[in-house]
């Protein structure tokens, strides 16, 4: 168990902009940072990071949290893994109880399945690497990598290794180390074989596959002997941590260079990536021989909108691979294509030319994917009208995928000239595709809306009423503001000398006897009251990095703002804007007064109804007396607050 002291230290040290910035490209906008949300697909950034509050929130899908929750939600880390990742990042020593060798098995069992698989994969990677460098029969793997021209530091960087030829060498080793056989099977490291088990990888050089945080989630293994019955490469079977469609080989090592160069080089295989990185071209990743998936594309999109695809000179292979680029275009990304000389792949060509010449070749030969397809197909179908029309339709389909109107119009003009066709005809066909796409999207949206409504209809009626009231009444706006003040300014001091008190104490005393009705705000209000009764007054971080996810989510929802003041206003135009410290006392006083005003009007309406319903003279006199008092309060609130009144809904 990680100690509470360590967790608190991690919460204090971890900066949300640093953590999120490793996985999402962020651009400054006023006091905040903006980027494309990693939790849902979007073309216009609505994902906001607030360094001042150390939180993030997407105003598109509603996801919110701090550094730890970002890792658990976006990178599928367990809570302990997220803490360890941040501790390593910020050089924080983790305090936890030491466990004996005998307790290792118990420790593994306590971890959930995902964490157990991560531990098993890490152990497997170490075993394969150690076996290759320290075992004589493993030297065949090292010889293979050396023959490919990989240097020692490259082999260590990518954690390459070798799986021994034996039937169950690794499995026996792992069981001896205390791993459960069931976990080894779920990790895809061990396979059942009749009444026994067998290593999944045998006599293969091993390429560990890392997720975006650097954890080994799977392996690719290349066979070392020629065997017509065995595949040249095999990958870890899909598991709770390894989904091939969501992983790009080398992305962990490439992400910083991709962000720096604002471009991702897409190649086919493991050795292509490794050779390019060794040559200093470190923005390369691989789809591992499969067509790009939408999840892989969005993984890149969070870092850069620019992808350059590197292909060898095989025309048939190029055309097959180009079919997958429509998905990239549909995501609004910029796709370029580079065709390497015949019989060359990135691995061989960078070794032949060197890094500088390779980079220059890419620069001089990269072509926009639409124009590349158009020129490729135009040359192929030059004397065949039927084939030409089919290929033109293929190009139009690709153009129709592009969301940006200006980009589409440029491509249409270029293609009309290339194919010697009337531009208006192409525009008409593209518009047909766009209309069909819009219709399909509307149909899908309607279907989703019906599903959401069905779920809502299945809820108890009381929840419908509470949701409606909380969403539509002005009360929840005022209550939200009270709780915001308690979270944002609660630990601040007001008054001087002996009269100095915290904002929490001031607000709670001012609202003595008043209640918060909106359930999610009441939860926070009661928590603040409870903590204050225990002598504790907390700052924002207690709420935004709380162990209770309900507290964290609601606090961030209250604190996060979709807009911030432009740097142009603050810096270039020299406009002076008061800080929160300057105006927070007025903010508090105004919020409390408006809340009390609302409560006064609400109580006045209820009392008027009681007067109408009363049939007891004694009770009526009391109600009339109360009515007079409430009227006086109403006048006082009106004089203090002004003309703007939040009226209760009827």
The model's pLDDT over 272-325, given as tens digits with 9 standing for 90+, comes to 999 999 999 999 999 876 678 888 998 898 888 899 999 876 666 676 667 778
| Per-residue pLDDT at 348 exceeds 70 | yes
Which has the higher per-residue pLDDT, 385 or 168?
168
CATH number of 4-89: 3.90.580.10
Q: What does the pLDDT read at residue 464?
A: 40
Q: Which tens digit of pLDDT belongs to each residue from 63-107? A: 888 888 888 888 877 778 888 888 888 888 887 655 555 555 554
Residues 6+ apart with CB under 8 A from 275: 148, 149, 150, 346, 347, 350, 351
Length of the chain counted residue by residue:
650
The average pLDDT across 436-461 equals 63
Instruction: Give the Cα-Cα-Cα angle 457, 462, 468 (nearest 5 degrees).
Output: 75
- Cα dihedral 598→600→602→605 (10° resolution): -140
Instruction: Give the Cα-Cα-Cα angle 561, 563, 567 (nearest 5 degrees).
Output: 130
pTM recorded for the entire structure: 0.65
| Per-residue pLDDT at 490 exceeds 90 | no
Residues 6+ apart with CB under 8 A from 463: none
Indicate the pLDDT class of residue 637, thresholds 50, 70 and 90.
low
Indicate the pLDDT class of residue 43, thresholds 50, 70 and 90.
confident
User: Across all residues in the chain, what is the average pLDDT?
Assistant: 82
Q: What does the pLDDT read at residue 350?
A: 94
The average pLDDT across 157-176 equals 94
Q: Cβ–Cβ contacts within 10 Å for residue 505, how many?
A: 16
| Per-residue pLDDT at 628 exceeds 50 | yes
| Per-residue pLDDT at 35 exceeds 50 | yes
Q: What does the pLDDT read at residue 176?
A: 93
Q: What does the pLDDT read at residue 169?
A: 94
Residues in a beta bridge with 190? 199
Burial 474-496, CB ≥16 within 10 A → b, else e: ebbebbbbbbbbbbbbbbbebee
Least confident segment among 213-217, 415-419, 454-458: 454-458
Give the percent of the chain with pLDDT over 90. 24
Indicate the pLDDT class of residue 563, thresholds 50, 70 and 90.
low
Q: What does the pLDDT read at residue 216?
A: 94
Q: Which tens digit of pLDDT belongs to each residue from 359-393? A: 999 999 998 888 888 777 776 767 777 877 888 88
Q: What does the pLDDT read at residue 208?
A: 97
Q: What does the pLDDT read at residue 466?
A: 41
CATH number of 371-437: 1.20.50
Residues in a beta bridge with 307? 264, 335
Indicate the pLDDT class of residue 469, thresholds 50, 70 and 90.
very low
Indicate the pLDDT class of residue 4, thresholds 50, 70 and 90.
confident
Q: Is the dihedral of CA 17, 18, 23, 25 positive or negative?
A: positive
Structural tokens at position 344: 């060359």
Please state the domain extents for the chain. 4-89, 108-242, 371-437, 466-641
Asked whether 115 and 78 are in contact (CB, 8 A), the reply is yes
Q: What does the pLDDT read at residue 308?
A: 93
Indicate the pLDDT class of residue 108, thresholds 50, 70 and 90.
very low
Q: What does the pLDDT read at residue 181?
A: 92
Least confident segment among 82-86, 121-125, 492-496: 492-496
Q: Which CATH superfamily is domain 108-242 in?
A: DNA primase, catalytic core, N-terminal domain (3.90.980.10)
The average pLDDT across 22-38 equals 86
How far is the first Cα of the chain from the last one, in angstroms, to the nearest whole number? 53
Q: What does the pLDDT read at residue 407?
A: 86
Q: Which tens digit of pLDDT belongs to each residue from 134-144? A: 999 999 999 99
Asked whether 208 and 122 are in contact (CB, 8 A), the reply is no
Q: What does the pLDDT read at residue 64?
A: 86
Which has the higher per-residue pLDDT, 145 or 10?
145
Structural tokens at position 205: 């050089």
Q: What does the pLDDT read at residue 644?
A: 47
């Amino acid at each position: 168990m990680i100690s509470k002291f360590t967790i608190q230290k991690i919460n204090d040290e971890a900066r949300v902009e640093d953590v999120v910035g490793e996985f999402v490209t962020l651009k400054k906008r006023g006091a905040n940072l903006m980027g494309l949300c990693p939790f849902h697909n979007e073309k216009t950034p609505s994902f906001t990071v607030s360094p001042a509050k150390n939180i993030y929130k997407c105003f598109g899908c509603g996801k919110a949290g701090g550094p730890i929750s970002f890792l658990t939600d976006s990178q599928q880390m367990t809570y302990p893994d997220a803490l360890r990742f941040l501790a390593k990042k910020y050089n924080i020593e983790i305090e936890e109880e030491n466990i004996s060798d005998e307790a290792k098995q118990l420790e593994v069992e306590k971890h959930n399945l995902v964490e157990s698989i991560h531990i098993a994969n890490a152990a497997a990677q170490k075993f394969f690497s150690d076996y290759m460098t320290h075992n004589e029969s493993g030297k065949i793997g090292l010889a293979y990598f050396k023959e490919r021209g990989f240097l020692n530091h490259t082999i260590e960087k990518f954690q390459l290794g070798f799986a021994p030829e034996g039937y169950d060498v690794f499995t026996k080793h792992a069981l001896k180390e205390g791993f459960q056989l069931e976990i080894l099977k779920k990790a895809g490291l061990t396979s059942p074989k009749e009444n026994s088990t067998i290593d999944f990888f045998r006599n293969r050089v091993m390429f560990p596959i890392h997720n975006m945080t650097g954890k080994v989630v799977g392996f690719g293994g290349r066979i070392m002997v020629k065997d017509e019955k065995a595949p040249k490469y095999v990958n870890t079977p899909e598991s709770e941590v390894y989904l091939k469609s969501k992983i790009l080989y080398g992305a962990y090592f490439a992400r910083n260079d991709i962000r720096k160069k604002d471009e991702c080089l897409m190649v086919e295989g493991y050795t292509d990536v490794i050779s390019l990185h060794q040559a200093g071209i470190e923005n390369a990743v691989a789809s591992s021989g499969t067509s790009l998936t939408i999840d892989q594309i969005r993984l890149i999109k969070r870092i850069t909108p620019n992808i350059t695809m590197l292909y060898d000179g095989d025309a048939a292979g190029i055309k097959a691979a180009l079919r997958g680029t429509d998905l990239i275009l549909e995501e609004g990304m910029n796709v370029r294509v580079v065709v390497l000389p015949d019989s060359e792949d990135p691995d061989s060509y960078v070794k032949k030319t060197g890094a500088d010449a390779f980079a220059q070749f890419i620069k001089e030969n990269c072509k926009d994917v639409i124009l590349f397809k158009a020129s490729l197909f135009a040359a192929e179908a030059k004397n065949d009208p039927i084939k030409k029309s089919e290929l033109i339709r293929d190009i139009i389909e690709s153009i129709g995928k592009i969301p940006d109107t200006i980009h589409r119009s440029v491509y249409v003009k270029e293609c009309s000239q290339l194919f010697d066709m009337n531009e208006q005809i192409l525009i008409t066909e593209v518009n047909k595709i766009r209309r069909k796409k819009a219709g399909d999207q509307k149909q899908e949206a309607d279907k989703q809306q019906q599903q959401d409504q069905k779920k809502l209809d299945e809820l108890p009626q009381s929840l419908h009423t509470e949701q409606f009231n909380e969403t539509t009444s002005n009360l929840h706006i005022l209550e939200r503001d009270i709780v915001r003040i308690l979270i944002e300014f609660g630990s601040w001091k007001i008054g001087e000398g002996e009269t100095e008190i915290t904002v929490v104490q001031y607000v709670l005393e001012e609202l003595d006897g008043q209640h918060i009705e909106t359930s999610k705000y009441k939860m926070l209000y009661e928590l603040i009251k409870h903590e204050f009764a225990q002598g504790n007054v907390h700052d924002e971080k207690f709420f935004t990095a709380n162990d209770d996810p309900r507290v964290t989510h609601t606090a961030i929802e209250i604190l996060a703002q979709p807009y911030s003041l432009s740097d142009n206003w603050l810096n270039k135009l020299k406009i002076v804007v008061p800080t929160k410290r300057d105006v927070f006392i007025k903010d508090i006083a105004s919020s409390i007064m408006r809340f009390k005003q609302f409560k006064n009007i609400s109580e006045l309406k209820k009392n008027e109804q009681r007067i109408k319903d009363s049939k007891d003279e004694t009770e009526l006199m009391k109600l009339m007396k109360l009515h007079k008092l409430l009227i006086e309060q109403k006048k006082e609130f009106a004089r203090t607050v002004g003309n703007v009144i939040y009226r209760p809904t009827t």
